[in-house]
Amino acid sequence: MIKLYIGSSCSSSRRAKRWLITHDIPFIEQNLIRQPLTKNEFIHLLKLTNNGVTEMLSTHSISYKNLVHRIDELSLSELYIEIRTSPSLLKKPIIYDQPAKLLTGFSEDKIRMFLPKTKRKQELNELLLSGHLVDFKENNLCVPVISCFSNMLVNKNKPGKATTSPGNTALSNEIFTQKSIVLFNFKSVAFILYFTRWKRERK
Protein backbone atom coordinates (compact mmCIF):
# COMPACT_ATOMS: atom_id res chain seq x y z
CA MET A 1 0.00 0.00 0.00
CA ILE A 2 1.30 3.44 -0.95
CA LYS A 3 1.98 5.87 1.89
CA LEU A 4 1.43 9.55 1.08
CA TYR A 5 3.04 12.02 3.47
CA ILE A 6 1.60 15.50 2.98
CA GLY A 7 1.69 19.04 4.34
CA SER A 8 -1.41 20.92 5.48
CA SER A 9 -1.18 23.79 2.98
CA CYS A 10 0.99 22.28 0.27
CA SER A 11 -0.15 22.56 -3.36
CA SER A 12 2.21 19.77 -4.45
CA SER A 13 0.67 17.46 -1.84
CA ARG A 14 -2.81 18.25 -3.17
CA ARG A 15 -1.68 17.52 -6.74
CA ALA A 16 -0.16 14.18 -5.72
CA LYS A 17 -3.31 13.20 -3.82
CA ARG A 18 -5.50 14.19 -6.77
CA TRP A 19 -3.28 12.20 -9.17
CA LEU A 20 -3.51 9.04 -7.05
CA ILE A 21 -7.29 9.35 -6.75
CA THR A 22 -7.69 10.01 -10.49
CA HIS A 23 -5.71 6.86 -11.30
CA ASP A 24 -7.63 4.74 -8.75
CA ILE A 25 -4.50 3.97 -6.74
CA PRO A 26 -5.22 3.23 -3.06
CA PHE A 27 -3.05 5.00 -0.50
CA ILE A 28 -2.73 5.84 3.17
CA GLU A 29 -2.43 9.54 3.93
CA GLN A 30 -0.37 10.97 6.78
CA ASN A 31 -0.23 14.67 7.59
CA LEU A 32 3.34 15.48 8.64
CA ILE A 33 2.23 18.47 10.68
CA ARG A 34 -0.25 16.53 12.81
CA GLN A 35 1.70 13.26 12.77
CA PRO A 36 5.44 13.77 12.16
CA LEU A 37 7.71 11.01 10.93
CA THR A 38 9.11 8.75 13.59
CA LYS A 39 12.88 8.48 13.73
CA ASN A 40 12.73 4.96 12.28
CA GLU A 41 10.50 6.14 9.42
CA PHE A 42 12.86 9.01 8.67
CA ILE A 43 15.94 6.78 8.61
CA HIS A 44 14.18 4.17 6.46
CA LEU A 45 13.08 6.74 3.87
CA LEU A 46 16.51 8.35 3.91
CA LYS A 47 18.09 5.01 2.96
CA LEU A 48 15.90 4.88 -0.16
CA THR A 49 17.05 8.24 -1.53
CA ASN A 50 19.59 8.62 -4.32
CA ASN A 51 21.06 11.89 -3.07
CA GLY A 52 20.82 11.53 0.68
CA VAL A 53 19.55 14.27 2.97
CA THR A 54 19.20 16.95 0.28
CA GLU A 55 16.57 14.84 -1.47
CA MET A 56 14.44 14.85 1.68
CA LEU A 57 14.72 18.54 2.53
CA SER A 58 12.84 21.52 1.14
CA THR A 59 15.76 23.71 0.10
CA HIS A 60 13.45 26.68 -0.60
CA SER A 61 11.97 26.79 2.90
CA ILE A 62 12.92 29.42 5.45
CA SER A 63 13.71 26.66 7.95
CA TYR A 64 16.28 25.19 5.58
CA LYS A 65 17.91 28.56 4.89
CA ASN A 66 18.28 29.11 8.63
CA LEU A 67 19.89 25.68 9.00
CA VAL A 68 21.98 25.32 5.85
CA HIS A 69 25.14 26.91 7.28
CA ARG A 70 25.48 24.12 9.87
CA ILE A 71 23.58 21.23 8.33
CA ASP A 72 26.78 19.30 7.52
CA GLU A 73 27.74 19.41 11.19
CA LEU A 74 24.54 17.77 12.41
CA SER A 75 24.35 14.11 13.30
CA LEU A 76 21.40 12.10 12.00
CA SER A 77 19.71 12.29 15.40
CA GLU A 78 20.20 16.06 15.56
CA LEU A 79 18.82 16.48 12.05
CA TYR A 80 15.76 14.44 12.99
CA ILE A 81 15.18 16.69 16.02
CA GLU A 82 15.34 19.73 13.73
CA ILE A 83 12.75 18.14 11.44
CA ARG A 84 10.48 17.33 14.37
CA THR A 85 10.77 20.93 15.52
CA SER A 86 10.29 22.41 12.02
CA PRO A 87 8.25 20.03 9.79
CA SER A 88 8.55 22.56 6.95
CA LEU A 89 12.15 21.34 6.54
CA LEU A 90 10.85 18.23 4.79
CA LYS A 91 10.08 18.30 1.09
CA LYS A 92 6.44 17.41 0.49
CA PRO A 93 4.77 15.29 -0.57
CA ILE A 94 6.74 12.15 0.19
CA ILE A 95 5.34 9.13 -1.63
CA TYR A 96 6.52 5.69 -0.59
CA ASP A 97 5.59 2.22 -1.76
CA GLN A 98 7.16 -0.97 -0.47
CA PRO A 99 9.72 -2.26 -0.90
CA ALA A 100 11.78 0.57 -2.37
CA LYS A 101 9.82 3.13 -4.40
CA LEU A 102 10.26 6.68 -3.15
CA LEU A 103 9.42 10.09 -4.56
CA THR A 104 9.93 13.39 -2.76
CA GLY A 105 8.08 16.39 -4.16
CA PHE A 106 5.67 16.15 -7.08
CA SER A 107 6.59 15.37 -10.69
CA GLU A 108 4.07 14.42 -13.39
CA ASP A 109 6.63 12.09 -14.96
CA LYS A 110 8.20 10.51 -11.89
CA ILE A 111 4.94 9.81 -10.07
CA ARG A 112 4.05 7.36 -12.84
CA MET A 113 6.39 4.86 -11.20
CA PHE A 114 3.49 4.13 -8.82
CA LEU A 115 1.17 3.01 -11.62
CA PRO A 116 0.68 -0.78 -11.66
CA LYS A 117 2.25 -2.45 -14.70
CA THR A 118 -1.18 -3.49 -15.99
CA LYS A 119 -2.33 0.14 -15.83
CA ARG A 120 0.76 1.38 -17.68
CA LYS A 121 0.19 -1.22 -20.39
CA GLN A 122 -3.48 -0.25 -20.68
CA GLU A 123 -2.63 3.45 -21.09
CA LEU A 124 -0.05 2.61 -23.73
CA ASN A 125 -2.59 0.56 -25.70
CA GLU A 126 -5.07 3.44 -25.49
CA LEU A 127 -2.43 5.82 -26.84
CA LEU A 128 -1.71 3.41 -29.67
CA LEU A 129 -5.36 3.38 -30.74
CA SER A 130 -6.19 7.02 -29.99
CA GLY A 131 -5.70 8.42 -33.48
CA HIS A 132 -2.10 9.65 -33.32
CA LEU A 133 -1.37 8.07 -36.72
CA VAL A 134 -1.78 10.74 -39.42
CA ASP A 135 -1.70 11.08 -43.19
CA PHE A 136 1.70 10.77 -44.86
CA LYS A 137 1.34 13.96 -46.92
CA GLU A 138 0.44 16.30 -44.05
CA ASN A 139 3.58 15.91 -41.95
CA ASN A 140 7.31 15.92 -42.39
CA LEU A 141 8.49 14.06 -39.29
CA CYS A 142 9.70 10.52 -40.01
CA VAL A 143 10.02 7.95 -37.23
CA PRO A 144 10.99 4.30 -37.91
CA VAL A 145 8.56 2.51 -35.62
CA ILE A 146 7.67 -0.71 -37.41
CA SER A 147 9.33 -2.97 -34.86
CA CYS A 148 7.89 -1.27 -31.77
CA PHE A 149 4.34 -1.29 -33.15
CA SER A 150 4.68 -4.88 -34.31
CA ASN A 151 5.72 -5.90 -30.82
CA MET A 152 2.74 -4.07 -29.32
CA LEU A 153 0.34 -5.85 -31.68
CA VAL A 154 1.57 -9.31 -30.70
CA ASN A 155 -0.07 -11.18 -27.83
CA LYS A 156 2.24 -13.71 -26.22
CA ASN A 157 -0.27 -16.34 -25.17
CA LYS A 158 2.23 -19.16 -24.70
CA PRO A 159 5.95 -19.23 -23.91
CA GLY A 160 7.91 -19.29 -27.14
CA LYS A 161 4.80 -18.81 -29.29
CA ALA A 162 3.34 -15.50 -30.43
CA THR A 163 -0.08 -15.06 -32.02
CA THR A 164 -2.13 -12.06 -33.13
CA SER A 165 -5.84 -11.58 -32.70
CA PRO A 166 -7.99 -10.93 -35.84
CA GLY A 167 -8.59 -7.33 -34.79
CA ASN A 168 -4.92 -6.65 -34.23
CA THR A 169 -4.01 -8.34 -37.51
CA ALA A 170 -6.41 -6.07 -39.39
CA LEU A 171 -4.99 -3.00 -37.70
CA SER A 172 -1.45 -4.16 -38.40
CA ASN A 173 -2.24 -4.69 -42.10
CA GLU A 174 -3.92 -1.30 -42.35
CA ILE A 175 -0.94 0.52 -40.88
CA PHE A 176 1.99 -1.33 -42.39
CA THR A 177 1.05 -2.75 -45.80
CA GLN A 178 2.35 0.07 -47.98
CA LYS A 179 5.11 1.86 -46.08
CA SER A 180 8.11 0.88 -43.98
CA ILE A 181 7.92 4.07 -41.93
CA VAL A 182 5.03 6.00 -40.43
CA LEU A 183 4.84 9.78 -40.37
CA PHE A 184 3.79 11.28 -37.07
CA ASN A 185 2.61 14.68 -35.92
CA PHE A 186 4.35 16.33 -33.00
CA LYS A 187 1.90 14.88 -30.47
CA SER A 188 3.10 11.46 -31.47
CA VAL A 189 6.65 12.32 -30.44
CA ALA A 190 5.31 12.32 -26.89
CA PHE A 191 3.90 8.86 -27.56
CA ILE A 192 7.31 7.55 -28.65
CA LEU A 193 8.89 8.97 -25.49
CA TYR A 194 6.11 7.40 -23.42
CA PHE A 195 6.66 4.05 -25.13
CA THR A 196 10.39 4.16 -24.39
CA ARG A 197 9.74 4.92 -20.73
CA TRP A 198 7.10 2.19 -20.52
CA LYS A 199 9.51 -0.40 -21.93
CA ARG A 200 12.14 0.67 -19.39
CA GLU A 201 9.69 0.46 -16.47
CA ARG A 202 8.68 -3.09 -17.47
CA LYS A 203 12.21 -4.38 -16.85
pLDDT in tens, 144-171: 444 444 444 444 444 554 444 444 444 4
Counting residues of the chain whose pLDDT is more than 90, the rounded percentage is 47
Best CA proximity match to 79, nearest among 62, 64, 93: 64
Query: 42-96 pLDDT, tens per residue?
Result: 999 999 999 899 899 999 999 999 998 998 899 999 999 999 999 999 999 999 9
pLDDT of residue 192: 62
Average pLDDT over residues 172-192: 46
The CATH class given to the 2-115 domain equals alpha beta
CA angle 16-17-20, nearest 5°?
85
What are residue 110's DSSP bridge partners? none
Q: What letter does residue 69 receive in the DSSP assignment? A: G
Reported for 151-159, long-range contacts at CB under 8 A and 24+ positions apart, including other chains, are 152/124, 152/125, 152/128
Between residues 123 and 61, which one has the greater pLDDT? 61
Catalytic residues: 10
Q: At what angle do helices 76-85 and 39-47 cross, to 10 degrees?
A: 120
